[in-house]
Amino acid sequence: MLVTYGCKVNYSFTGASISPDVRTISIPVISNNAPLVVPTLSHTLTDAVRDYFTSQTNLVMVDRNGDLSVEGTITGYDIQPVAIQGNEKAAMNRLTITISVKFTNRKDQKQNFENSFSRYEDYLSTQSLASVQDGLIKDITDQLVQDIFNKSVANW
């Protein structure tokens, strides 16, 4: 049997590569500075990011000063018409959510970044935003969380 010593990186089935000396993560509440504010969006996005990191890694959530830190600000919540028809009426509308993220790795500062992530979902213009908003926010949030996770610990 061979025994090796040296630098070790943990890999998981999620694609995360986290150094074994990284044990904690802090994710403060994501603030909402978008011009159009949905009151529940900040907590929805914060909970989704926290849940994903704790379920997909062995990291322990701490209130502050984690080995890793994910800080975010919602900077955009926009509805735009798309798929304009011949009568100059939109067949579809697009909901776009944009978040600015600052990732800090206190163990390896070369991995630190500040990045903006944006995702959207389209819905029929015959539907009211109120009737589809919760489902759209969930779908967009899932995509944003995956983007944040991949950029921060999956090194994609």
Is there a domain that residue 1 lies in?
Answer: no
Is there a domain that residue 5 lies in?
Answer: no
Q: How many domains does the chain divide into?
A: 1
CATH code: domain of residue 91: 3.30.160.150
Show the domain range for 112.
10-154
Cβ contact 38:133 at 8 Å:
yes
Say what angle helices 129-149 and 41-56 make with each other, to 10 degrees. 40
Question: Tens of pLDDT along 62-87?
Answer: 999 999 999 999 999 999 998 777 67
- Region of 65 on the Ramachandran plot (φ > 0 left; ψ -120 to 50 alpha; else beta): left
H or E element at residue 51: helix 41-56
The rounded radius of gyration (Å) of the Cα atoms in the chain is 19
Question: Tens of pLDDT along 84-127?
Answer: 776 777 789 999 999 999 999 999 999 999 999 999 999 998 99
Q: What is the model's pTM?
A: 0.86
